[in-house]
Every structure is written in structure tokens, then in C-alpha cells.
Amino acid sequence: MKKVCLLLLLVALAGGCARTTATSLVTGNTAGQSLGLGKTVVLTWCGFEPTDKGGSEKAARLRGLIATHFAGLPGTEVTDAGPLVAALGGRDWRDASDMELAAAARASGVDSVALVEVATLVGRLYLSLPPTWSVETSFAYQARLLDARSGSLVLSALRGRDVTVAFGLSGREVLYKDFAADLAELTQPLAQPTDK
């Protein structure tokens, strides 16, 4: 009996027991966007930044990851957000309506606006008795993509993932990798080859 228990413990340690919960509420029409987004401003907000001990570092890393992702989409050129924000007249972009954002984008010569609001990005280690542990990684975000030329909402999504692994070993890099993979999956229709 002891050998069986030891064998089960070793299997659990080697492979882990995982529970994954994913949330994906997506709407929009990406048809017609296959030629690229054109000049695009990427606006990112991280809700965890003021309260998380390493929030500013995590937020900076995410902002770079998100901007790099959009810049990698075919036919898309990520441009500085300064002129668009100035065209809003000092208002926070999160308080502006989609129509106001589209008008400010047109006024600043921008074709598209990508808005990504990350509510959570967290990794936790849980310890308990008898000596067991689990690792949880979790993120949740909202993404919207506006076509400034038409004023239409191309994409709107609420996405998230919560993964708990018993006897797991993972770090923050896995969390960033999972977030990047999820964002790539969401924007996959926009990454199709262009006709240009």
C-alpha cells in the first residue's frame, strides 16, 4: 500500500493535477480587416497596477507585450498615442465613448484604436498540510478594437483564464506566455495574410 501511495505521489509531482477555467465572450466583425489595421494606437490600462506590489513592473511588461503583438499584425503600424490623447482634450481615454475615440483618432490621423484593459494578472503559491502545494495563475482582460474610419466596433471581448496545478512548478514567465497566447488567439482573424 505504501508503494502505491508513493507511486501516486510521484506521478502527481511529475505531471501535476490541473484545473483550467477559461472565459471568452467575443463579439464583432473582423471581416474587411484582413488588409491590416493601418496606423493604430494601442491604449492599455492595468487595474492591478496601483495595488500590486510589483504592479508597475508587470504593467510595463504587459504594455510592451501588447504593443509588440499589435505591431506584428500584417498591415498594422503602431503609432504614438500622444496626439490621440491630446485630441480628447485632456479627458482620460477610459471615460471617452467609442465615437469620441474614433473622432479623436481621425483627427490625429489614426486608422484604428486598440483598447486593452487588464483587470488581473496574478500568480499564487498555496501551501497546505500534509505537505502539498498548488500554483495558480490567472488573468482577466477586456479588449476592444475600433475602426476610426467607419467608427465601428470591430472587436469586443472579455477574456480570462484561471489555471490551478497541484504540485505544479511555474513562474511569472508562464503567466506572460499564457496571456500572449490568449491575445494572439483573440486577434488571429486579423493576422491572416494580406493581399498587399
Asked whether residue 89 is domain-assigned, the answer is: yes
Place of cell 510589483: 54
Q: What is the pLDDT of residue 9?
A: 52
- Cα–Cα distance for residue pair 112/148, rounded to 1 Å: 5
Distance separating alpha carbons of residues 142 and 151, to the nearest angstrom = 19
The answer to whether residue 7 is domain-embedded is no
Tens-level pLDDT at each residue, the chain (196 residues): 666 545 445 545 545 567 778 788 888 777 655 568 999 999 999 998 888 788 889 899 999 999 999 999 999 999 999 999 999 998 899 999 999 999 999 999 999 999 999 999 887 777 777 777 778 889 999 999 999 988 889 999 999 998 888 877 777 788 899 999 999 999 988 877 545 4
Tally of domains within the chain: 1
* Residue-range definition of the domain harbouring residue 178: 18-190
Spatial separation of the C-alpha atoms in residues 114 and 57, rounded to whole Å:
22
Q: Which amino acid makes up residue 103?
A: A
Residue 107 resides in a domain: yes
* CA gyration radius, the chain: 20
- Residue 176: which CATH number? 3.40.50
Tell me the longest C-alpha to C-alpha distance in the chain: 74
**Total residues belonging to the chain:** 196
Alpha carbon 18 to its chain's center: 22
Q: What is the pLDDT of residue 3?
A: 65
Among the listed residues 87, 137, 134, 129, the one whose alpha carbon sits nearest the alpha carbon of residue 109: 87
Residue 132 lies in a domain: yes
Distances (CA, A) of 141 to 13, 62, 116: 31, 11, 7
Q: Does residue 10 form part of some domain?
A: no
Does residue 1 form part of some domain?
Answer: no
Within a domain: residue 8? no
Return the H-helix or E-strand segment holding 165: strand 152-166
Q: Report if residue 3 sits inside a domain.
A: no
DSSP category for residue 193: P
Q: Which residues contact 86 (CB under 8 A, 6 or more apart)?
A: 108
Q: What angle do CA 116, 182, 48 make, to 5 degrees?
A: 45
Could you write out the DSSP letters of every residue in 115-131?
EEEEEEEEEEEEEETTT
